[in-house]
Amino acid sequence: MDEEKEIIAKAKKGDKSSFEKLVLKYTKGLYSFVFNILGQQEAAQDVVQETFTKAFSNLNSFNTSKNFSTWLYTIAKNSAFNYIKVNKKYDFREADESISQDKNPEELVINREASRALVRSIDMLSEKYRTLIYLKYVNNLSYEEISKTLNISKSIVESRLYTARQKLSILLSGGE
């Protein structure tokens, strides 16, 4: 993660090649995340592109003491939901053929709605829990690595992950 901080610092100074490293690192995960929300390949590609453009244009406003993936995924989430809002007439019933071979259309809609509900629930968590979710699932970090990144003990990592999942479970079942 320290290496990533160095890359971000260089990108902030206008080094485009450093930002390209971030594009290469995060595109795959970001595309999957956005695709799960939108359920449409072309739209997901556009939103991922928009996310990186926004991130690049606003990198100066990113606080380097914060977690980059949380920031980036928040932009992607906002862009994806904005996309749905703007294109609300278009309900993506025509999912991509390649995907619909594996799943029936109803299943696709259910999966998409479930993903949207989960993203909204993550968004309702406070920042300390949200960051942990991103470090665990996006950056695939171990407790040890998360503990070093956030400068907290491993037992706090564990207890926060427990609480975060419990809160998500309550939110997903319709609780407050």
Contacting residues toward other proteins, per CB under 8 A: 14, 16, 19-20, 23-24, 27-29, 31-33, 35-36, 40-43, 45-46, 48-50, 52-54, 56-58, 60-61, 75, 78, 83, 86-87, 89-90, 94, 96, 114-115, 118-119, 133, 136-138, 142-143, 158-159, 161-162, 165-166, 168-169, 172
Minimum CB–partner distance for residue 2 and other proteins (Å): 22
CA distance 143 to 84: 35
Distance CA 14, CA 106 (A): 46
Closest separation between CB of residue 26 and other proteins, Å? 10
Burial of 140 (0-12, 13-18, 19+ CB in 10 A): exposed
Residue 137 to residue 121: CA distance in whole angstroms: 15
CB of 66 to other proteins, least distance (A): 16
